[in-house]
Structure 1
Amino acid sequence: MAACGDYIRTEFPSIDDDLYKYVEGILDSSRDDFEDGDEVYEAIGEVLHEVADKPEKEVRKICRRLLAMLKGTPDGELHVGNDKRNNGVNKVLNAPVNLGAMAATLEDQVEDIKSIWVTTRDDGSKVDAKKLEKAEAKLQQKLEKRVGGDSGSVNRNVNATVALETASASQMTSKKDSRMEGKGGVNRTQDIRIENFDVAYGDRVLLQGADLTLAFGRRYGLVGRNGLGKTTLLRMISSKQLRIPTHVRVLHVEQEVASDDTSALHSVLECDHERSELLSREADLQSALDQGGGDSIGEELARVYEAMRLAEVDKAPAKASAILSGLGFSVERQAWPTKSFSGGWRMRLALARALFSRPDLLLLDEPTNMLDIKAILWLEKYLQSWPTTLLVVSHDRNFLDTVPTDILYLKAQKIEAYRGNYDQFARTKGERERNQQREFEAQQAKRAHVQEFIDRFRYNANRASSVQSKIKMLEKLPELKPMEKEGEVTLRFPEVEALSPPILQLNEVSFRYDSSGSNADFLFTGVNLTATLQSRICIVGENGAGKTTLLKIITGKLSPTRGTVHLHRNLKFGYFSQHHVDQLDMRVCPVELLQNHFPGKPMEEYRRMLGSFGVSGDLALQTINSLSGGQKSRVALALMCAAMPNFLVLDEPTNHLDIESIEALGKALEVYQGGVILVSHDERLIRMVCHELWVCGDGGVRCIEGGFDEYRRIIEKELEAQKS
């Protein structure tokens, strides 16, 4: 590959690193599959044309040269002739071959072989529906016989009626795969390949004929618009509704840890079943030995000790404690029983257990939602050295730029795979889309030109053969589709009237929840905060430092223990709480929700309000329960803005929004004419919107000079000190 790399750099000196890595990755991964220079050109030709304005003939020559380097063949031995598969070398048969007889013989020998002489295509107009149903029924019976009572088998009846709240998956498995799994673990690869599968949620088909490949040891970021089925796909994998090798251990962090008397540290340790079994066995053998057991007991105990040494049982508590500490559990809190933690902290415990147990495939769904910025930075560093396979759904752009080695993109009921982090994915995807559109436009121009010739000489007897040739050529052209761009997400906050300052002032504000407590019980003291309609303030800090409490004091939901809050008489807050989405009436549709809260307006007005936040068309008439988390968040934002606030107080508004919606939220807040105070852990949104950074912690609230960069530097310094 080094020679190929040098050759590419020589021929295309202007190629950037991302495209170079992309081309190099394709050549490296497909070197054994390429059979001629044309196949290399089909794989990377478009990218090379984009890099340099070279004629097609020259780029094809370069591709043939690259193939020669990959195959270790002297360039002179690669020829372009009529027989491209044999590099131009004509092979002479000793005797004529009857292809029909050969095909019949092979079909008798192998039950499911496909003809290698006939190219078939999917043509729905020529399929007999009844015959197809019978064939599928026979195939279903054969598959059921093969897999027998396997608990991992999937429901293959795609047309089964499913309740709205449930999801179903179907997957066609090849006979080869069934035989491999039937050999009792002969194929022990840790790679996962799920081919040609469907996923449906109620009567909505989320994925159809999709393929998913997860190579062991790689970290995959699963991205796509809200409502396309990312979370559902994770659940299908973890529930074994999609067929994966039975020896692959899968863990999906979805539910919080049970609330009981088990300490946080012990809760993490007990998920290592091998360690628990070894310790239990050691205790039993030691008891037997104390009671006068013989030499056999001592020998077995020695074997258990050796197994404990290999499993590093003695190091487990330190490892578990380090993980808990990174996720925000102090040494003191690690000894607390799980029942003393809130739901959010028990979700952190579930994440800690997963990180400690190290399954073969770890599934994470929005892991940063429950974490503060310090814990997110720790998790990013921890996952960068994750030893097994990781599949994570996230809408945190910075997290996706830092953790994944690959991006899986859900679009149009398919999964597209891209090498690299999110930033590389965005560039490569844009390049692909531009190339696809150019190729489509070029083909359309060619079609129009040929069609013009056909129409002009259709009835000219002298040109009949040329016309027929052109018609056949048109029929053979592949069916290219124009680039379908996803609709851009736009959010619009209502216009507000200017207010003369002062707008909002907090003077020497202190707060504690227990009014009879001591000074040590204060959450924060001496807070002085001034805000105007031009303010863009972000409040950050560790969980429990008082960020949400401060917002509630600002909006009047809590009264300060000491100090005063001065507000402009015409100031009207729009408050978006972390739990705002959960408090929506899930039984009604978004239009009805607005009608119930703001009755008496025309239907068009409710539609307009929802449309300002990307909830339009049929989406506005679906029950809120059936919407994705991000769509619910946009409904909640629309409900908040229906009251026409002139100062927005937003507590973690990005928790369920997809990347495009977060980008749209940032742009909308930039042009909003009212004031903004924001609590968020999304680094990209903070950098887009906020001009001031207030840090909650150590019993106070202070302004950070240097903004988010300085805050990040402080956190990284703390993490380094914690690590040492």
Structure 2
Amino acid sequence: MATCGEYIETVFPSIDDDLKQYVEGVLENGADEFEDSEEVYEAVGEVLQEVSSDKTEEDIRNICNELLNILKPNKSKVNNGSMKVLNAPVHLGSMVDNLESNIDDIKSIWVMQRDDSLKVDARKLEKAQAKLQEKQDKRTKEVKAVVAPKLQTATASQVTTKERKSRFNFSIRWRYGLVGRNGLGKSTLLRMISGGQLRIPSHISILHVEQEVVGDDTLAIDSVLECDTVRADLLKREKEISAAINSGSTDPNLNTQLSEVYAQLQNIEADKAPAKASIILNGLGFTPEMQQQATKTFSGGWRMRLALARALFSRPDLLLLDEPTNMLDIKAIIWLENYLQNWPTTLLVVSHDRNFLDTVPTDILHLHSQRIEAYRGNYEQFERTKTEKLKNQQREYEAQMQQRQHVQVFIDRFRYNANRAALVQSKLKMLEKMPELKPIVKEPEVVLKLPDTEPLSPPILQLNEVAFWYNPGRVIFTNVNLGAVMDSRICIVGDNGAGKTTLLKIIMGILSPTSGMTHVHRNLKFGYFSQHHVDQLDMDVNAVELLQQTYPGKPIEEYRRQLGSFGVSGDLALQTVSSLSGGQKSRVAFARMCMGNPNFLVLDEPTNHLDIETIEALGKAIQKYTGGIILVSHDERLIRMVCNELWVCGSSSVKSIEGGFDEYRRIVEQELEAVAQSK
């Protein structure tokens, strides 16, 4: 049988890959919850309708019915079967809703038969149930008629509804952090907003920072300034009028037009624009010299920074940022956190940086179970509120289950007692009025397990008078004197290009120092996690085969066990690497690195592509690891969680600083403040 994705491609051959992945994700994540094709239609029907304008609503509903058959091929067989197996108290109201010949079927479930003279009158019971159903239908219609105009703040109530459409309004000057597990569609949602696939008023300007700036001869500072189209048009007009006047034109209106242009330029403070653009570029790491370089001279990472600078300078009504901290070093992240706290319009940001989410957002949008819930406050407040909410929901569910069981016992005991018919009907009404609650299903906890190690006697690792340069004119660092032991938790920080990755490669022996000596214990075994780990994986094999290539000759169970310790289990381990998400590929890379049983880990930007839960799990795994760790990261929470020593790269040196990350952050903020004052 075809999969949902294959069927969608057949029916919608021109569907966009991102949309197809989004629909597949909704269907796969909600497979266990869909009860009928109507629920499938409510989940993905509108998206599919947008894909093909030549299909009617009835066509889309038929397609949704076929998708349900693919997801649950045995559902119709189960529903049409004649045998009923009861493993819970009978709910007569539900049976009346679903059975055509309800009285006969209700009778058929009882094993013991009693004298008919003692039973409640069947016709009266049927009439009472019909009235209950009529009232319930009326209430349902009234509830569906009231659609919330915006996403509601989370409450303790967990009353279920078949209305799966999330509707909410963005508020001006509010900063939203969109969070959720990897693969749920956060980035897809941003693309749908920016692509006009969701209903956004046409007068709202939207800018999605997703692609890097195209490299050409435009200077970096000019690339940012040209985003202000009003200023650019006025300057162009001013130049044209001035040229006409200088060429001897006798048009009397030219001087008036030139005065008007000057007035408009003054009103928009056009003369201050270069300074504003320079401040933004400097905050993102562009030195004055770099700001005067052509965009084509920058690498992809720096062009992404340039795209972010253009977005910050242009100030759209709705700014969409997808993992903005991935391309930045800690100094730039600190600047961006401070800058966005005064952002004048609406911001929607996807980030895995816990500290960033604690600093920037005013609200958190939690994407889970094909819906979005809004929480006031930053990520820390969101976690507290969500935890308390889940506890309340579980208590609410357990209390209702006890009440239902108590009522059901009474109904089962007296349903055939004519003298208690009125009480039975009253209890039935009580059950019908109770909202349907579902048990809390917690997201599975992410657990990573690093290998056990044997202790080594010091010295373990020592750098003596180490210097390195690619050519005499480009010195990376000199006079480095540092060391590490088996319980070291060292984090290397510094500006991009300061030599952090170069230092790691010298430590592992991949590069030789230009001068000085490195001393490494003979039994020290490095495990290296490169920031470009995804590029180093074979995309054409599955995860098990990838481990087999690196460590051949072991039982399949051992490979699967290794992958399972990093959350790559079940069918996921048998998917081709190319089909995995960025976070899943990272976990496969971790599994491969650790299968060699290293006793000293060198991790270069390991948090890229990982969600918050996995980063938290990585921090806990590092805390339990008995070997040494040297880490390059810009994730402040991870650094604070695991590191006990900080090495700072910069000014052609590498130094260990006292005071840890707090001291480093203080130094960075002083530098940023000094630069801002100089502007």
Shorter chain as denominator, the TM-score bin is: 0.7 to 0.9
Deviation at 1:278, TM superposition (A): 1.1
Work out whether 1:330 is the aligned partner of 2:287.
yes
CA contact (8 A) 1:227 1:627 kept: no
CA contact (8 A) 1:338 1:346 kept: yes
Work out whether 1:265 is the aligned partner of 2:207.
no
**Equivalent in 392, 412, 420 of residue 455 of structure 1:** 412
Work out whether 1:558 is the aligned partner of 2:508.
no
2:189 maps to amino acid: L
Q: Mind listing any 5+ residue stretches in structure 1 that lack a counterpart? A: 1-122, 146-154, 162-192, 197-206
| Greater RCO (CA < 8 Å, at least 6 residues apart) | 2
For residues 108-135 of structure 1, give each alpha carbon's deviation from its aligned partner in whole angstroms, at most 9, with x where no partner exists.
xxxxxxxxxxxxxxx9779899xx99xx
Partner SS state of residue 356, structure 2: helix
Q: How many residues align?
A: 544
For residues 30-65 of structure 1, give each alpha carbon's deviation from its aligned partner in whole angstroms, at most 9, with x where no partner exists.
xxxxxxxxxxxxxxxxxxxxxxxxxxxxxxxxxxxx
Deviation at 1:322, TM superposition (A): 0.5
Q: 1:298 to 1:126 in 2, by over 3 A?
A: closer
Partner SS state of residue 526, structure 1: strand
Match of residue 176 from structure 1: none
CA contact (8 A) 2:37 2:64 kept: no
CA contact (8 A) 1:195 1:209 kept: no
Deviation at 1:552, TM superposition (A): 0.7
CA contact (8 A) 1:525 1:699 kept: yes
Match of residue 3 from structure 1: none
CA contact (8 A) 2:358 2:378 kept: yes
Q: 1:140 to 1:401 in 2, by over 3 A?
A: closer
CA contact (8 A) 1:194 1:244 kept: no
2:240 maps to amino acid: D
Deviation at 1:591, TM superposition (A): 2.1
Match of residue 441 from structure 1: 398
2:665 maps to amino acid: R
Partner SS state of residue 560, structure 1: coil
Match of residue 227 from structure 1: 183
**Equivalent in 543, 555, 570 of residue 496 of structure 2:** 543
**Structure 2 matches for 1:133-148, cutoff 5 A?**
none
CA contact (8 A) 1:212 1:415 kept: no
Q: Distance in 1 between the 2:203 and 2:287 partners?
A: 36
Match of residue 554 from structure 2: 601
**Equivalent in 664, 681, 691 of residue 634 of structure 2:** 681
Q: Distance in 1 between the 2:573 and 2:266 partners?
A: 60
Q: 1:339 to 1:320 in 2, by over 3 A?
A: same
Deviation at 1:213, TM superposition (A): 2.7
Q: Distance in 2 between the 1:412 and 1:282 partners?
A: 56
Deviation at 1:699, TM superposition (A): 1.1
Work out whether 1:710 is the aligned partner of 2:663.
yes
Deviation at 1:540, TM superposition (A): 0.7
Partner SS state of residue 325, structure 1: helix
Match of residue 479 from structure 2: 526
Identity of aligned residues (%): 68
**Equivalent in 637, 654, 665 of residue 607 of structure 2:** 654
Q: Distance in 2 between the 1:709 and 1:483 partners?
A: 39
Q: Distance in 2 between the 1:293 and 1:575 partners?
A: 73
Deviation at 1:596, TM superposition (A): 2.4
Q: 1:226 to 1:569 in 2, by over 3 A?
A: same
Work out whether 1:587 is the aligned partner of 2:543.
no
Work out whether 1:274 is the aligned partner of 2:220.
no
Give the TM-score normalised by the residue count of structure 2. 0.76
**Equivalent in 481, 486, 492 of residue 443 of structure 2:** 486
Match of residue 352 from structure 1: 309
Deviation at 1:195, TM superposition (A): 9.0
For residues 435-492 of structure 1, give each alpha carbon's deviation from its aligned partner in whole angstroms, at most 9, with x where no partner exists.
1111101100101111111222233232222122212321332110111110000110
Match of residue 166 from structure 2: 210
Q: 1:286 to 1:128 in 2, by over 3 A?
A: closer
2:632 maps to amino acid: V
CA contact (8 A) 2:151 2:373 kept: no
1:479 maps to amino acid: E
Match of residue 54 from structure 1: none
Q: Distance in 1 between the 2:39 and 2:526 partners?
A: 63
Q: 1:301 to 1:144 in 2, by over 3 A?
A: farther
Deviation at 1:194, TM superposition (A): 8.7
Q: Distance in 2 between the 1:262 and 1:387 partners?
A: 28
Work out whether 1:256 is the aligned partner of 2:212.
yes
Deviation at 1:500, TM superposition (A): 1.9
2:326 maps to amino acid: N
Partner SS state of residue 512, structure 1: strand
CA contact (8 A) 1:285 1:301 kept: yes
CA contact (8 A) 1:526 1:700 kept: yes
Work out whether 1:512 is the aligned partner of 2:465.
no
Q: Distance in 2 between the 1:553 and 1:573 partners?
A: 12
CA contact (8 A) 1:576 1:637 kept: yes
Q: 1:128 to 1:337 in 2, by over 3 A?
A: closer
Match of residue 101 from structure 2: none
Deviation at 1:243, TM superposition (A): 2.6
Match of residue 408 from structure 1: 365
Q: 1:307 to 1:536 in 2, by over 3 A?
A: same
CA contact (8 A) 1:646 1:674 kept: yes
Q: Distance in 2 between the 1:276 and 1:698 partners?
A: 38
Q: Distance in 1 between the 2:621 and 2:492 partners?
A: 19
Match of residue 24 from structure 2: none
Q: Distance in 2 between the 1:252 and 1:642 partners?
A: 40
Q: 1:383 to 1:611 in 2, by over 3 A?
A: same
1:226 maps to amino acid: N
For residues 589-614 of structure 1, give each alpha carbon's deviation from its aligned partner in whole angstroms, at most 9, with x where no partner exists.
22222222222222221211111111
CA contact (8 A) 2:151 2:374 kept: no
For residues 670-720 of structure 1, give each alpha carbon's deviation from its aligned partner in whole angstroms, at most 9, with x where no partner exists.
110111000111111111101111111111111111111111111111111
**Structure 2 matches for 1:100-179, cutoff 5 A?**
none
Match of residue 135 from structure 2: none
CA contact (8 A) 1:508 1:563 kept: yes
Partner SS state of residue 620, structure 1: helix
Alpha-carbon RMSD: 2.9
2:215 maps to amino acid: S
1:241 maps to amino acid: Q
Q: 1:461 to 1:415 in 2, by over 3 A?
A: same
Q: Distance in 1 between the 2:38 and 2:373 partners?
A: 29
Q: Distance in 1 between the 2:331 and 2:212 partners?
A: 21
Deviation at 1:323, TM superposition (A): 0.4
For residues 120-176 of structure 1, give each alpha carbon's deviation from its aligned partner in whole angstroms, at most 9, with x where no partner exists.
xxx9779899xx99xx99x979x979xxxxxxxxx9899599xxxxxxxxxxxxxxx
Q: Distance in 2 between the 1:349 and 1:259 partners?
A: 10
1:280 maps to amino acid: K
Match of residue 363 from structure 1: 320
CA contact (8 A) 1:211 1:414 kept: no
Partner SS state of residue 582, structure 1: helix
CA contact (8 A) 1:220 1:406 kept: yes
Q: 1:158 to 1:302 in 2, by over 3 A?
A: farther
Give the TM-score normalised by the residue count of structure 1. 0.71
CA contact (8 A) 1:194 1:243 kept: no
Match of residue 573 from structure 1: 526
Q: Distance in 1 between the 2:63 and 2:526 partners?
A: 49
2:594 maps to amino acid: C
Runs of 4+ displaced beyond 6 Å: 123-129, 155-158, 193-196
Match of residue 477 from structure 1: 434
Q: 1:159 to 1:701 in 2, by over 3 A?
A: farther
For residues 336-376 of structure 1, give each alpha carbon's deviation from its aligned partner in whole angstroms, at most 9, with x where no partner exists.
11122111111111110110111111110111111111111
CA contact (8 A) 1:194 1:242 kept: no
Work out whether 1:391 is the aligned partner of 2:348.
yes
CA contact (8 A) 1:405 1:420 kept: yes
Q: Distance in 2 between the 1:628 and 1:261 partners?
A: 36
